[in-house]
């Protein structure tokens, strides 16, 4: 799928920091601890690089603005399996294909590094129905559901996209 | 199931350190990095305690000797879900019910802390057939299998025991 806006997607640089913070706040789903974690992992990625930190960030830009970002990294003990930690779209560009373009960009990087599986874990709660539907549209398959994993009534959905 | 040898199971203390190291080497399945990790997590547990470190160790003793140990801790982002990281039996006491007694001891601690799920992740490789059979006997259910998760041909089995 071609995004309906012109995007460039590259490894995140320091210049994107403010934009990433701004859209992380704007999407309105992250609490203070989660926002601090985004900052912390970005800092680890800038300071130590993706290999040593285990976190790689990609930023999507349109017209010089941060349209979205993705954060992913290798799963411990595996060879070629990666976790997709966050994929966040600037609400201004919602439903323009930014998130799907970011998933494809992540997959392209993985393929170039003998990556095989990209895992996205999410909740079975009603609030996450759109998130789950997005993963399905983006080519992930819910290969496992663990009832009550997060808390009673809150299931784990383990989505897998294969390279 | 009652173990066929007399066991006492308690939170691990410094006195168990040498015994834990000795049986971790004796079982012959851990490489140098994994052995170092056992030491590292034990040290974190001793220094910061189970709550702050996220790692709790239980030791099974028989006749003053370390018969086995278990290491587990809460899964991030969940309420009441725990990972079973290691369960190791002194080969001298193999098949005496030590490992099952350790699983039950872990479950008893979990129940006392509103724990609900204990997760054991293992490989689908032939070498792990006995491990998988053990989990089933100990009351775990393989609630998910993710093909090729660890590497091509090496599947993830996600075993869950519910409190």
> pLDDT tens digits for A99-156?
999 999 999 999 999 999 999 999 999 999 999 999 999 999 999 999 999 999 999 9
Which residue, among B131, B139, B104, has the nearest Cα to B7 in the 3D structure? Answer: B104
Mean pLDDT over A39-55 rounds to 95
ipTM above 0.85, yes or no: yes
Mean pLDDT over B59-83 rounds to 96
Contacts of A130 (CB under 8 A, 6+ apart): none
Q: Residue B152: list chain A partners with CB under 8 A.
A: 80, 116
Angle formed at CA A83 by CA A79 and CA A88, multiple of 5 degrees:
150
Buried b (16+ CB within 10 A) or exposed e, A56-86: bbbbbbbeeebbbbbbbbbbeebebbbbbbb
Which residue, among A140, A145, A139, has the nearest Cα to A158 in the 3D structure? Answer: A145
How many percent of chain B have pLDDT more than 90? 88
Interface membership of A34 toward B (CB under 8 Å): no
pTM: 0.91
* Helices marked H in chain B: 17-26, 32-53, 98-112, 129-137
* A141-151/B81-89 β-pairing: unpaired
Interface membership of B30 toward A (CB under 8 Å): no
Q: Do A160 and B146 touch (CB under 8 A)?
A: yes
* Total Cβ atoms within 10 A of residue B97: 18
- pLDDT of residue B2 exceeding 80, the answer is no
Residue that is written with structure tokens 């199931």 in the block: B1
The tokens of A128 are what? 């996450």
Q: Residue B146: list chain A partners with CB under 8 A.
A: 117, 143-144, 158, 160
Q: Residue B37: list chain A partners with CB under 8 A.
A: none
Q: Do A151 and B80 touch (CB under 8 A)?
A: yes
Which residue, among B67, B41, B37, has the nearest Cα to B53 in the 3D structure? Answer: B41
Q: Do B78 and A116 touch (CB under 8 A)?
A: no
Output the pLDDT for position A15. 97
Q: Do B150 and A116 touch (CB under 8 A)?
A: no
Higher model confidence: residue A16 or residue B34? A16
Question: Which residues pair with residue A58 across a beta bridge?
Answer: A11, A70
Nearest C-alpha of chain A: how many angstroms from B18?
26
Output the pLDDT for position A1. 52
Contacts of A64 (CB under 8 A, 6+ apart): none
Contacts of A36 (CB under 8 A, 6+ apart): none
Rounded distance, CA B86 to CA B78, Å?
20
The tokens of A145 are what? 């559901």
Taking only residues 93 to 132 of chain B, the set having a beta carbon closer than 8 angstroms to any beta carbon of chain A reads 116-117
Output the pLDDT for position A2. 59
Give the 3-state secondary structure of chain A: CCCCCCCEEEECCHHHHHHHHHHHHHCCCCCHHHHHHHHHHHHHHHHHHHHHHCCEEEEEEECCEEEEEEEEEECCCCCCEEEEEEEEECHHHCCCCHHHHHHHHHHHHHHHCCCCEEEEEEECCHHHHHHHHHHHHCCCEEEEEEEEEEECCEEEEEEEEEC
Rounded distance, CA B148 to CA B145, Å?
9
User: Would you give the end-to-end CA distance of chain B in angstroms?
Assistant: 16
């Amino acid at each position: 799928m071609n995004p309906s806006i012109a995007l460039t997607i590259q490894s995140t640089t320091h210049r994107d920091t403010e934009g990433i913070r701004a859209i992380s706040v704007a999407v309105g789903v992250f609490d203070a601890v989660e926002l601090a974690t985004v900052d912390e992992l970005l800092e680890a990625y800038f300071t130590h690089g993706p290999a040593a930190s285990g976190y790689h960030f990609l930023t999507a830009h349109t017209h010089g603005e941060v349209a979205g970002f993705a954060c992913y990294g290798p799963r411990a003990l595996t060879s070629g399996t990666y976790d997709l930690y966050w994929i966040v779209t600037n609400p201004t560009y919602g439903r323009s294909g930014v998130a799907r373009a970011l998933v494809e960009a992540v997959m392209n990087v993985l393929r170039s590094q003998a990556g095989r599986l990209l895992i996205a874990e999410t909740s079975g709660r009603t609030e996450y129905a759109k998130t789950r539907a997005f993963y399905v549209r983006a080519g992930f398959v819910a290969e496992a559901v663990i009832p009550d994993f997060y808390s009673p009534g809150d299931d784990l959905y383990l989505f897998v996209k294969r390279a």
